[in-house]
């Protein structure tokens, strides 16, 4: 039930050394500095560009020391990050939209090679037509490739999740690449006061990166990813499958450790945040910055006595199947907010809807469920919009048909 | 009932030949009213120059096509073959197409009373010196001829293909009959000599043919197979992240002094091996430097021994050696083992020279396969001990 936002104004002492005005991109850059990243590969595309700008400024200003490589494209950028990670350098990359997609080949192999660099994705609609607004399909493209993937909703969380992300990704039991996604514009370019951890606190939380027996080094002669035939691939997939499952436990551990160092910033079950759900009958679940208008709508509707709540899904991979199933099956109806699309998929739902619905299938009590397609290409998702979604979801409780199963929000019609 | 044909061919050099044989079995069996299909074990990887590869054809008089496909097409490798065709007899020494596969006997898939059909100039007895024993009787049939070697994009039209079809008709008429082979070739090509080539091959393999070319192989024939088949690790026994430990580093002077990959030797790739006359060697280092598979082990007296288990027979060393007759490529079946030639020579140099010249014989292969042309055969010359004559390469290359 806790919400990071509610605690943002606490004392500046101990693990946090100062408060800065930072947007999401700059907050990520501060996280990269505090994680003491060794190698950064960069190639511009907005809205991610400001991350690389902020990092180069930190280095130029002498506040941070790292190898900073400007690549000739995202494909090379991601390859550099992957290779740096394989020689035991903590490595960082990032991109947005079609740039992210252009480097897809490198992103896929980073996962199969089980390397743990961190990439930030400033979510952006996939061109064509040329568009800059947020949409989640770019980051979602890696969801089944063996990546860790989470969304943050504030610059504070963005900074902290660079540290948390490396902590989980580099864990011996996991060693998977980490995708840290944040809504383009609404978070990447939204400035807030951010408490910046001290170097000592960051160090205390985040252990050294050690690839150990898999470190590519002349003293440890190995081959990484040689050509294999039908005799090997299935076993490798099984290893990735296990790692993704193990990651669920490691995520929990990481948040607990983070809380130990930084005070109780996050509460169980960590993979998602629930807001005013204790006695709720109807909830919305969504990803990213839609949390703010949705939670505000909840507060206002609660004032009128309506039992509504909001679930902010933070971790998409691994998907918190058991916890979310348990949570959502308490409600009478669930409205799933998709800031993405999956054209022609079953019932033509969005991606999040497919995942939530599939997660609920084995539940004893299956709530009524409806889907909202909204905020695509950076279109507004306002308090009024989320309020409307709550109302539609409330009606779904009584409905016994697929009528009104999907509603497009904010569409000119 | 299903009849299974396996075609063992040399990667790249016989790729089109293998495929053509598979295709035509399907065409001919279909004309006979049977269901048939054909498939290959590889697309390109790991098909490399000379690597032992396989093509398959399946024929059934009674199963519907989908069932035939399900029985035979859902697996990448077959479990048994009624006829195993061997398009190059040097594969009788075993086949190792890729790493962790082990060196397998050429007759591994041949069923009881089935047939190993080999293109060869050798007699069955000579081939059985290399072939593993089977617990039951089967047949070995020799289709007289040299291996037909060409290139990736070409097919050498020397009628090996037609003759193989005739051969299959002789050893297992239930797959394709000679009449159907002949009528198919005539309809397709309108060239009588192709049908005749198939018929001649067929006649040569009939029981009453003189000399007899089909021999029944009993459980006493052949050798105890010397190579182990590796057991692949379970998923949790493998390193994560597709990581493979490198070959352990290690180097000492002398035979087999350097560590090599035990999981993939690649020696079954070769049809010829380089035979060295150490008495003619000028210690120029070129063979050692140029061998793409690092088969040469430097010795304390400045020579270069060859580790034949890892030699793929590419002929590069013979090509770069600046001394006439110093390195010559010789038919792989001349050699029964992979012992160190340098040790042999050190033990008794006169005996070694006589031995190696005996292996070379009168005719010898000059250079590796020229794409589209096959091997060239040139007349060799026995050099007296220690007579060093420089090679003038330009004269030697036959185009
Ligand atoms: S033929 Fe010569 S160059 Fe080629 S692999 Fe064998 S030893 Fe090496
Ligand atoms: S290339 Fe010929 S002469 Fe030179 S070292 Fe090798 S065997 Fe001797």
Q: Is B250 exposed, middle or buried (0-12, 13-18, 19+ CB in 10 A)?
A: exposed
Q: Where are the domains of chain B?
A: 3-217, 267-396
Q: How far is CA B223 from the centre of its chain?
A: 18
Question: Omega before A324 cis (within 30°)?
Answer: no
**pLDDT at res. A1:** 38
Which tokens in the block code for residue B12? Answer: 């790249």
> Same domain, yes or no, for A321 and A399?
yes
Last residue of a domain, one of A217, A236, A262: A262
Q: Is the pLDDT of residue A121 over 50?
A: yes
Phi and psi, residue B35, nearest 5°? -95, 140
Pocket flag, ligand 1, residue B306 (CB < 6 Å): yes
Domain of residue A10, CATH code: 3.40.50.970
Rg (CA), chain B: 22
Q: Do domains B3-217 and B267-396 have the same CATH topology?
A: no
Q: Is the pLDDT of residue A409 over 60?
A: yes
Domain of residue A320, CATH code: 3.40.50.920
Q: What is the pLDDT of residues A326-368, one digit of tens each?
A: 999 999 999 999 999 999 999 999 999 999 999 999 999 999 9
Q: What is the pLDDT of residues A157-182, one digit of tens each?
A: 999 999 999 999 999 999 999 999 99
Q: What is the pLDDT of residues A202-216, one digit of tens each?
A: 999 999 999 999 999
Pocket flag, ligand 2, residue B304 (CB < 6 Å): yes
User: What residues have CB less than 8 Å from A257, skipping those under 6 apart?
Assistant: A167, A205
Q: What is the pLDDT of residues A27-70, one digit of tens each?
A: 999 999 999 999 999 999 999 999 999 999 999 999 999 999 99
Q: Which residues of chain A from 217 to 246 reach within 8 Å of chain B, CB to CB?
A: 221-232, 234-236, 238-239, 243
Residue B376 CA, ligand 1 centroid: distance in Å: 18
Q: Is the pLDDT of residue B393 over 70?
A: no
Share of chain B above pLDDT 70, in %: 92
> Same domain, yes or no, for A188 and A313?
no
Q: Does A1 reside within a domain?
A: no
Phi and psi, residue B294, nearest 5°? 50, 50
Residue B129 CA, ligand 2 centroid: distance in Å: 32
**pLDDT at res. A84:** 98
> Same domain, yes or no, for A142 and A258?
yes
The sign of the torsion formed by the CA atoms of B188, B189, B191, B195 equals: negative
Average pLDDT over residues A103-108: 97
Q: Does A267 reside within a domain?
A: no
> Same domain, yes or no, for A283 and A137?
no
ipTM, two decimals, is: 0.87
- Chain A closest-CA separation from residue B39 CA (Å): 16
> Same domain, yes or no, for A246 and A305?
no
> Same domain, yes or no, for A325 and A345?
yes
Residue count of chain B: 399
Q: Does A73 reside within a domain?
A: yes
Q: Does A122 reside within a domain?
A: yes
**pLDDT at res. A295:** 98
Could you give the CA distance from residue A155 to residue A30 in angstroms, rounded to a whole number? Answer: 10
Could you give the CA distance from residue B266 to residue B95 in angstroms, rounded to a whole number? Answer: 9
**pLDDT at res. B74:** 87
Q: Which residues of chain B from 108 to 167 reach within 8 Å of chain A, CB to CB?
A: none
Which tokens in the block code for residue A192? Answer: 């807030």
Read off the pLDDT band of B340 (50, 70, 90). very high
**pLDDT at res. B75:** 85
> Same domain, yes or no, for A318 and A381?
yes
The minimum-distance atom of ligand 2 relative to the CA of B282 is 3
3-class DSSP assignment, residue A17? strand
Contact B139, B170 (CB under 8 A): no
Pocket flag, ligand 1, residue B315 (CB < 6 Å): yes
Contact B106, B86 (CB under 8 A): yes
Among residues B201, B131, B124, the alpha carbon closest in space to that of B160 is found at: B201
Residue B250 CA, ligand 1 centroid: distance in Å: 21
Read off the pLDDT band of A5 (50, 70, 90). very low
| Residue to mutate, B271, B291, B329, ligand 1, most ligand atoms under 8 Å from C-beta | B291
Pocket flag, ligand 1, residue B134 (CB < 6 Å): no
Q: Is the pLDDT of residue A403 over 90?
A: no
Which tokens in the block code for residue A341? Answer: 């699309």
Pocket flag, ligand 1, residue B313 (CB < 6 Å): yes
Average pLDDT over residues B4-19: 93
Q: Interhelix angle for B178-189 vs B192-204, to 10°? A: 160
DSSP state of B266: -
> Same domain, yes or no, for A217 and A309?
no
3-class DSSP assignment, residue A135? coil
The sign of the torsion formed by the CA atoms of A376, A377, A378, A380 equals: negative
Please tell me the class of the B3-217 domain: alpha beta
Strand-pairing partners, residue B37, are: B58
Judging contacts by C-beta atoms under 8 Å, the chain B residues touching residue A244 are none
Average pLDDT over residues A318-326: 98
**pLDDT at res. A398:** 87
| Residue to mutate, B321, B341, B387, B388, ligand 2, most ligand atoms under 8 Å from C-beta | B321
Q: Is the pLDDT of residue B28 over 60?
A: yes
Question: How many Cβ pairs within 8 Å bridge chains A and B?
Answer: 64
Among residues A325, A8, A352, the alpha carbon closest in space to that of A153 is found at: A8
- Please calculate the CA angle B294-B295-B299 and round it to the nearest 5 degrees: 105
**Which ligand minimizes its atom distance to the CA of B269?**
1
**pLDDT at res. A2:** 42
**pLDDT at res. B151:** 75
Which tokens in the block code for residue B285? Answer: 């280092």
Mean pLDDT of chain B: 91
Q: What is the pLDDT of residues B272-309, one digit of tens each?
A: 999 999 999 999 999 999 999 999 999 999 999 999 99
- Please calculate the CA angle A248-A250-A255 and round it to the nearest 5 degrees: 100
Average pLDDT over residues B128-154: 93
Query: Does A72 lie at the interface with B, CB-CB under 8 angstroms?
Result: no
> Same domain, yes or no, for A332 and A206?
no
Q: Does A130 reside within a domain?
A: yes
Q: What is the pLDDT of residues A69-86, one digit of tens each?
A: 999 999 999 999 999 999
User: What residues have CB less than 8 Å from B341, skipping those under 6 apart?
Assistant: B275, B276, B278, B305, B306, B352, B356
- Please calculate the CA angle A11-A15-A19 and round it to the nearest 5 degrees: 55
Looking at the structure of chain A, the number of domains it has is 2
Q: What is the pLDDT of residues B371-388, one digit of tens each?
A: 555 556 666 788 999 999
Q: Does A214 reside within a domain?
A: yes
**pLDDT at res. B392:** 60
Residue A113 CA, ligand 1 centroid: distance in Å: 34
Could you give the CA distance from residue B44 to residue B35 in angstroms, rounded to a whole number? Answer: 27
3-class DSSP assignment, residue B75? coil
- Please calculate the CA angle B259-B262-B263 and round it to the nearest 5 degrees: 140
The sign of the torsion formed by the CA atoms of B69, B70, B75, B80 equals: negative
Domain range B267-396, its CATH number among 1.20.120, 3.30.70, 1.10.620, 3.40.50:
3.30.70
**pLDDT at res. A222:** 94
pTM summary value: 0.89
Q: Is the pLDDT of residue B49 over 70?
A: yes
**pLDDT at res. B48:** 82
| B46 vs A318, residue with greater confidence | A318
> Same domain, yes or no, for A166 and A21?
yes
> Same domain, yes or no, for A287 and A216?
no
Could you give the CA distance from residue B353 to residue B360 in angstroms, rounded to a whole number? Answer: 11
**pLDDT at res. B370:** 52
**pLDDT at res. B41:** 77
Domain that holds residue A59: 6-262
Q: What is the pLDDT of residues A224-254, one digit of tens each?
A: 988 887 889 999 999 999 999 999 999 999 9
Q: CA distances (Å), B333 to each of B84, B92, B94, B272, B311, in order?
A: 19, 9, 11, 8, 14
Q: Which residue of A has its CA nearest to B239?
A: A214
End-to-end Cα, chain B, rounded Å: 49
Could you give the CA distance from residue A94 to residue A83 in angstroms, rounded to a whole number? Answer: 15
Residue count of chain A: 413
Residue B218 CA, ligand 1 centroid: distance in Å: 36
Could you give the CA distance from residue A343 to residue B167 in angstroms, rounded to a whole number? Answer: 57
DSSP codes of every residue in B215-243: EEEPTTSSB---PPPPPPPPTTTSPSTTE
Among residues B52, B134, B48, B114, the alpha carbon closest in space to that of B89 is found at: B52
Buried b (16+ CB within 10 A) or exposed e, B260-274: beeebbbbbbbbbbb
Helices (H), B42-141: 65-73, 124-128
> Same domain, yes or no, for A232 and A279?
no
């Amino acid at each position: 039930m806790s919400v990071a936002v509610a605690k943002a104004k606490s004392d500046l002492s101990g693990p946090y050394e100062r408060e800065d005005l930072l947007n999401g991109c700059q907050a990520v850059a501060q996280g990269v500095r505090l994680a003491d990243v060794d190698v950064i590969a960069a190639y511009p595309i907005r809205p991610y560009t400001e991350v690389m700008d902020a990092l180069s400024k930190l280095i130029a200003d002498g506040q941070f020391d790292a190898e900073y490589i400007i690549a000739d494209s995202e494909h090379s950028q991601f390859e550099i990050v992957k290779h740096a990670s394989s020689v035991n350098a903590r490595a960082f990359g990032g991109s947005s939209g079609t740039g992210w997609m252009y480097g897809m080949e490198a992103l896929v192999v980073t996962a199969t090679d089980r390397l743990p660099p961190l990439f930030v994705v400033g979510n952006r609609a996939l061109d064509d037509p040329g568009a800059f607004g947020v949409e989640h399909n770019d980051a979602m493209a890696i969801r089944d490739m063996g990546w860790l993937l989470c969304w943050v909703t504030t610059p504070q969380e963005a900074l902290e999740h660079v540290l948390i992300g490396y902590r989980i990704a580099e864990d011996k039991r996991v060693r998977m690449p980490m995708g840290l996604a944040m809504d383009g514009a609404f978070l990447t370019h939204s400035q807030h006061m951010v408490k910046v951890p001290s170097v000592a606190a960051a160090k205390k939380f985040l252990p050294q990166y050690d690839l150990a027996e898999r470190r590519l080094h002349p003293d440890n002669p190995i081959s990484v990813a040689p050509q294999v035939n039908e005799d090997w691939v299935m076993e490798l997939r099984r290893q990735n499958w296990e790692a993704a499952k193990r990651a669920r436990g490691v995520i929990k551990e990481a948040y607990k450790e983070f809380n130990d160092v930084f005070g109780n910033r996050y509460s169980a079950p960590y993979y998602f945040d629930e807001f005013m759900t204790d006695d709720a009958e109807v909830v919305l679940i969504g990803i990213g910055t839609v949390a703010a208008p949705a939670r505000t709508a909840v507060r206002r509707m609660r004032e009128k006595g309506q039992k509504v709540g909001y679930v902010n899904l933070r971790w998409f991979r691994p998907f918190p199947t058991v916890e979310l199933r348990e949570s959502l099956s308490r409600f009478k109806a669930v409205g799933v907010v998709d800031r993405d699309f999956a054209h022609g998929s079953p019932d033509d739902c969005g991606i999040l809807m497919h995942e939530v619905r599939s997660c609920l299938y084995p539940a004893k009590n299956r709530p009524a469920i409806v889907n909202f397609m909204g905020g695509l290409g950076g279109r507004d998702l306002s308090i009024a919009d989320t309020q409307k979604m709550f109302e539609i979801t409330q009606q779904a409780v009584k409905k016994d048909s697929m009528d009104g199963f999907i509603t497009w929000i904010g569409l000119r019609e | 009932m299903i009849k299974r044909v396996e075609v063992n061919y040399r990667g790249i050099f016989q790729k089109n030949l293998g495929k053509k044989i598979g295709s035509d079995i399907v065409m001919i069996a279909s004309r006979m009213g049977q269901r048939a299909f054909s498939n290959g074990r590889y697309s390109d990887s790991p098909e490399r120059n000379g690597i032992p590869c396989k093509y398959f054809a399946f024929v059934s008089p009674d199963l519907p096509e989908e069932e035939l496909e399900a029985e035979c097409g859902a697996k990448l490798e077959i479990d048994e073959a009624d006829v195993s065709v061997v398009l190059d007899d040097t594969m009788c020494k075993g086949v190792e197409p890729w790493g962790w596969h082990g060196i397998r006997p050429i007759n591994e898939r041949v069923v009881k009373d089935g047939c190993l059909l080999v293109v060869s100039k050798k007699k069955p007895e000579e081939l059985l010196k290399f072939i593993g024993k089977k617990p039951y009787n089967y047949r070995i049939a020799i289709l007289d001829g040299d291996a037909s070697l060409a290139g990736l994009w070409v097919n050498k039209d020397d009628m090996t293909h037609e003759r193989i079809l005739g051969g299959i008709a002789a050893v297992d008429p239930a797959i394709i009959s000679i009449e159907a082979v002949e009528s198919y070739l005539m309809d397709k090509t309108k060239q009588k000599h192709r049908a005749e080539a198939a018929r001649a091959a067929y006649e040569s393999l009939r029981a009453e043919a003189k000399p007899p070319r089909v021999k029944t192989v009993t459980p006493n024939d052949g050798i105890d197979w010397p190579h182990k088949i590796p057991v692949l690790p379970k998923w949790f026994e493998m390193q994560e992240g597709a990581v493979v430990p490198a070959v352990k580093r290690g180097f000492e002077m002398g035979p087999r002094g350097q560590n090599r990959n035990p999981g993939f030797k690649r020696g079954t790739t070769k049809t010829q091996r380089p035979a060295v006359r150490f008495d003619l060697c000028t210690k120029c280092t070129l063979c050692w430097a140029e061998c793409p598979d690092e088969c040469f082990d430097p010795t304390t007296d400045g020579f270069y021994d060859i580790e034949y288990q890892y030699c793929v027979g590419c002929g590069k060393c013979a090509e770069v050696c600046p001394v006439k007759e110093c390195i010559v490529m010789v038919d792989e079946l001349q050699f029964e083992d992979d012992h160190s030639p340098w040790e042999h020579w050190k033990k008794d140099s006169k005996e070694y020279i006589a031995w190696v010249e005996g292996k070379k014989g009168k005719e010898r292969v000059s250079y590796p396969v020229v794409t589209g042309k096959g091997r060239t055969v040139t007349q060799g010359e026995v050099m007296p001990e220690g007579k060093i004559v420089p090679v003038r390469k330009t004269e030697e290359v036959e185009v």
